[in-house]
Structure 1
């Protein structure tokens, strides 16, 4: 039987944590305060967390922690790319764990959140009970080329790519990412907002196979779009501030930690091949290919797979007697 999201719940605690570099991180907790500690890491970079992310997890079993990563969402300032690197985000996660007095926790995430989850695990493996990763992104050059050159996803969505490319008029596709970054971080606020909406529309159109006829009206939150586009382009022009193949080259550090990896077969944002490569090097990782899913976190098969994975991890962690205290 297919699973649906758990019913809506409210956060029982919200706070802002001061971290280095002049940032304040938004943190919320919901579910069972005495349950298994889980942190969910949102995508983007710069996407922000959603109240629906709480609903992947059984609120009776889990102490659910959501955050807005530095520079986006309800974190302050927002949007901001100052003092904003992968290393900063990893340290932010560890500071949150210490702030909340959690010994170890389940680390979950989607898209860019999978990248960040694995980077965190590589730096702090003893703090991780396990991983649930949806839509794997490794932060390698081939993934940027797939998204922003005309030889990747553009081959499947040529009319959408043409619109995305022509928004920055007259630019060679090989320079498209850099040109978007310059507009998004430039002094012309009107141009930056327009570019951010075009950026988010391109990714939104690639993300789902359940919804069609997506146009600019579906990008209706200007602040969220600017956070997403500005911070994503900042990370991508800087190769996510990691060396090429960094995660694969350091995977041995987390290879003993159990992981459930979910990936849509028709994911046009993050290619399935990278999840496949990952599990070849990760003996304790299980790849579940979702046969009728794309990249979106709230497609039917993705919801079903994620909720079942969360239950599987809860049972495993409970059997091990390791609740995150």
Structure 2
């Protein structure tokens, strides 16, 4: 029943913050929330390029969890800001291990949504012995079919007016390869050109992640202070296939055997449609796939929040 749905935990401030030098000239911002010494967890934000937000801390019972959140390379408060140098999936996986060692955890729960699910799976398949459980949302496997859905054909059929605006920002003779065309605009010497391209790029993504029209969310994504960085980093990852071999995360899913997991997937997620969650379930049969019938992409939607909070409670041994 929708009236019984769980909501986010109350607002919480970090009990510790810091910067960790991880090599290659990068320094990672991190913060810890909850109870020191409680069940360890790591939270992976989306994007790529978005950075962490205060609301993301609230998906865990602070009395039962000790949660590390961090801004990935080039994101948020990490430095150098918006840098694409030495910024790949596998650099971030290595950063996670350095953060785990810094925290002194032997294993931790890995929690990530959207691009955060891609990183969660990449990390867990590289270091399965370091993962106690996984909570994932809006599965994105970095396959060409998923990139095409967003940037070639798919979501375009659901939001034709927004798609035409997204494509129309690029010169007509460049519209056959939007990723490369936007890369050039986002790297343009003129800051106004970069800003306009970022606004168009981020608005298109903002439209696909909102189940119902949320102009405030879309506008913040398009014009926020991190808009150019978010667009540049995301474009960088998409142009490089998220630095994954085609189908890699499905091919290596056998490495997840023995790791308990929950996937919370919105039925009407237009950014990361349910097909990828379903495909992952076929090769990771023990995962609990929960498709939310009235859910989209964002963790703040009522049905998605309910599933995520219940999953984190469950793995902390808290009864519903």
TM-score, L = length of structure 2: 0.95
What per-residue deviation string (whole Å, max 9, x for no partner) do you get for residues 118-166 of structure 1?
Answer: 10011111000010000000000001110011x2100000000000111
Contact 1:135 1:270 in 2 (8 A): yes
- What root-mean-square deviation, in Å, do the aligned CA atoms of Structure 1 and Structure 2 show? 1.6
* Superposition map of 1:90-169 within 5 A: 90-149=93-152, 151-169=153-171
- Which residue of 1 is the match for residue 241 of structure 2? 239
Name the SS for the 2:66 alignment partner.
strand
Higher mean Cα deviation, 87-96 or 296-305? Answer: 296-305
Higher mean Cα deviation, 51-60 or 292-301? Answer: 292-301
Report the CA distance shift for 1:171/1:229 in structure 2 as closer, same or farther (over 3 A): farther
Say yes or no: does 1:301 pair with 2:303: yes
Say yes or no: does 1:202 pair with 2:204: yes
Mapped to 2, the partners of 1:102 and 1:213 lie a distance apart of: 41
Mapped to 2, the partners of 1:216 and 1:106 lie a distance apart of: 31
- Which residue of 1 is the match for residue 289 of structure 2? 287
Mapped to 2, the partners of 1:217 and 1:254 lie a distance apart of: 38
Report the CA distance shift for 1:215/1:16 in structure 2 as closer, same or farther (over 3 A): closer
Cα distance, 1:221 vs structure 2: 5.0
Counterpart of 2:14 (choices 11, 15, 35) is 11
Cα distance, 1:256 vs structure 2: 1.7
Mapped to 2, the partners of 1:62 and 1:216 lie a distance apart of: 31
Contact 1:79 1:227 in 2 (8 A): yes
Higher mean Cα deviation, 110-119 or 278-287? Answer: 278-287
Report the CA distance shift for 1:32/1:171 in structure 2 as closer, same or farther (over 3 A): farther
Contact 2:206 2:217 in 1 (8 A): no
- Which residue of 2 is the match for residue 249 of structure 1? 251
Cα distance, 1:207 vs structure 2: 0.8
Mapped to 2, the partners of 1:222 and 1:304 lie a distance apart of: 28
Name the SS for the 2:73 alignment partner.
coil
Counterpart of 2:49 (choices 38, 46, 51) is 46
Cα distance, 1:186 vs structure 2: 3.1
Unaligned runs of 5+ in 1: 319-325
Mapped to 2, the partners of 1:215 and 1:90 lie a distance apart of: 29
Say yes or no: does 1:29 pair with 2:32: yes
What per-residue deviation string (whole Å, max 9, x for no partner) do you get for residues 215-245 of structure 1?
Answer: 9744465432112110000001011111000
Report the CA distance shift for 1:171/1:109 in structure 2 as closer, same or farther (over 3 A): farther
TM-score, L = length of structure 1: 0.94
Mapped to 2, the partners of 1:295 and 1:167 lie a distance apart of: 25
Report the CA distance shift for 1:217/1:241 in structure 2 as closer, same or farther (over 3 A): closer
Higher mean Cα deviation, 179-188 or 212-221? Answer: 212-221
Mapped to 1, the partners of 2:105 and 2:47 lie a distance apart of: 26
Higher mean Cα deviation, 222-231 or 168-177? Answer: 168-177
Cα distance, 1:283 vs structure 2: 2.2
Mapped to 1, the partners of 2:62 and 2:45 lie a distance apart of: 19
Contact 1:208 1:293 in 2 (8 A): no
Contact 2:262 2:290 in 1 (8 A): yes
- Which residue of 2 is the match for residue 321 of structure 1? none
Cα distance, 1:99 vs structure 2: 0.8
Aligned length: 316
Name the SS for the 1:211 alignment partner.
coil
